A and B are shown apart, each in its own frame.
Chain A
Amino acid sequence: MYALSKRLTDAFSRRFARAVRETYREDEAYASTPLGRLALYAFLLLLLLLPLLLGPYPMYVATLVAIGALSALGLHLLVGGAGQISLGHAAFMGVGAYTASHLTGPLAPLGVLLGGGIAASLGLLLGLPSLRIKGVYLAIATLAFQFLADYAFKTWEAVTGGIRGRTLPPPEVLGLVLDTPERLWYLVLLFALPLFFYGKRLLMTRAGRAFRAVRDNDLSARVAGVDLTRAKLLAFALSAFYAGVAGGLLAQLYKAVTPEYFPLSVSIQYLAMVIVGGAGTVLGAVLGAFFVLLIPEVLNGFVGALGPEYAAQLAAWRNVAFGLLILAFLVLEPLGLVGLWGRVRDYFRTWPLPY
């Protein structure tokens, strides 16, 4: 009896609960072990059912975080992946958002996609200086792009509506009006899921290796056969594409676009997400976005508890919190939340042994 039950549980754990990779082939794939696959399917199911589980306000926050994570993933490819820097990420989101504001209603999905495309071509352009300059100088060049875009958003009235911005009717898909965050969630998933899988794959294969090679050692990368020009431009274009799509989706959520949504401070907020999330990984993008976008919500709660007279200082406190957070992560955990998660995982993997 004991032998039988042991055989059954063994068979079960081999088939479904195995979390250790046993072959090179499994090592190559993502979610390759049975337990990994199970977790992935469960997570996808949770995402699909989320609107049934959460109320309107949490759903609004969830949509915001999903869009933020998508945009942050773009910056991860560029900063964590290829080791380039961009202070103009918000500008690309703006480009996507304004593009989407011109193709609304039934055309909304097309508008979001086109926003990504236009942002990507601008990203290609912004990638050009990266072929010549690095580090701080590149940061300044992307900063210039951010200010130029800011200026264009405010003054090019025919396209952007100037300071007042533009409003968007809710998107329609197959005759269904997506006017609530619960419904919009599915449009976000439609774009985010494929882009997340694509990003994950990209980082695991040839292009991702080329990116990291450029990041670690560009001289050696060239001699090892990596096309630097191609890798850098691809990183900038992809990063801008992700930002553009995210910007277009954000415009649907806010139902409006104004220049105030995409200033320099938002670019910096996204850099913070990359640093806090850590290490140029897909998981890092999600965790970073979660953390950084939820801080204002948590602070909101605090301020609400303290009383209305503190509300005016909320923005200032938020910036202080960001600053401390970035410092803390840079000093204490350069690998970010991903690094923390890795340690927790390793602890349980080897539990109850210490090593």
Chain B
Amino acid sequence: MILEVQNLHLSFKGVKALAGVGFSVAEGEFFAVIGPNGAGKTTLLNVLSGVYEPEKGEVVFLGESLRGKSPQARARMGLGRTFQGLEIFRGMSVLENVKLGAELALPGYPMALPRAEREWRLRAWAEEVLDYLHLSPFRHAPAGMLPYGLQKRVEVARALAGRPKLLLLDEPMAGLALEEKQDLARFLLDAREEWGVTLLWVEHDLRAVLELSDRVLVLSYGEVLYYGPPEGVKKDPKVVEAYLGQG
């Protein structure tokens, strides 16, 4: 197990955002978290990446407890993250965004090398990632000036460039056209295949989730409604009642 989450609790001013959430993600898995608005999905990602500290419970990543570790320390351990909405570096070029991410991938950004050589290695790897995500023609464009779909892809590129072992994606498909969704799905599956990235994604597009994911966790009001293979999601009476509605 690459990630083990045990009994997470977190509340904001009395509102329980997470109430005893526990699950585990296997290496190489495509793991989905779904649920209605306010279910605690983004809160869960924020706890995993270290933006929030849970009140109770434990997150174990690669066999090591993450308690008290800062977001940047977790990033260096191989925990990548993209955000809901656009949290790229808008004033930087696409290439700079990806290079910043790539610094996590090069073991220790070898300080012994001359600076030009270090930059050059970063550049070579960043170009590979750009090429992979079909972003090469936009490398020098300010990231904030690109259309929405491309900006989303830049964020995925930045996160993938860091060679994370586990990548947390917060609604990567929100607001994308069908074709862009298909492209992104292909990129993610390829990344898993080629670089061995384990993927944990929060997504609203139920069809995509059920088609792509190996296992699904359904949250509602901070509690686990369902945890298992995608085929079972639509059959589970609790999920149908809380999330899908009667058809």
Contacts and interface: CB of A to CB of B under 8 A. Distances in A.
A180 to B, nearest CB: 38
Interface in B84-119: 87-92, 96, 99-101, 103-104, 109, 115-116, 118-119
A24 interface: yes
B187 interface: no
Contacts of B87: 217, 219-220
Given A212-B96, A217-B90, A224 B162 contact: yes
Contact of B103 (A29, A206, A212): A206
Contacts of B35: none
Interface stretch (B120-128, B205-213, B220-228, B234-242): B120-128
B100 A24 contact: no
A225 B115 contact: no
Q: 3 tightest CB-CB pairs across the interface, nearest first?
A: A225-B75, A216-B89, A220-B87
Contacts of B99: 209
Is chain B's interface secondary structure helix, strand, loop, or mixed overall?
helix
A209 B119 contact: no
A226 B89 CA distance: 12
Contact of A213 (B49, B100, B123): B100
B89 A220 contact: yes
B204 interface: no
Interface string A180-223: 00000000000000000000010011100110110111011111
Contacts of A216: 88-92
Interface of A: 24-25, 27-29, 201, 204-206, 209-210, 212-213, 215-217, 219-228
A213 B143 CA distance: 12
Contacts of B123: 24, 27-28
15 contacts: A24-B120, A28-B119, A205-B115, A206-B118, A209-B96, A212-B92, A216-B92, A223-B49, A223-B81, A224-B75, A224-B100, A224-B101, A224-B158, A224-B162, A225-B75
Interface residues of B, number: 34
A221 B158 CA distance: 11
A225 B124 contact: no
A24 B88 CA distance: 23
A205 B116 CA distance: 9
Given A24-B123, A209-B100, A223-B49, A217 B72 contact: no
Given A24-B123, A223-B51, A224-B162, A213 B116 contact: no
Given A216-B92, A217-B89, A222 B70 contact: yes
B71 interface: yes
A78 to B, nearest CB: 15
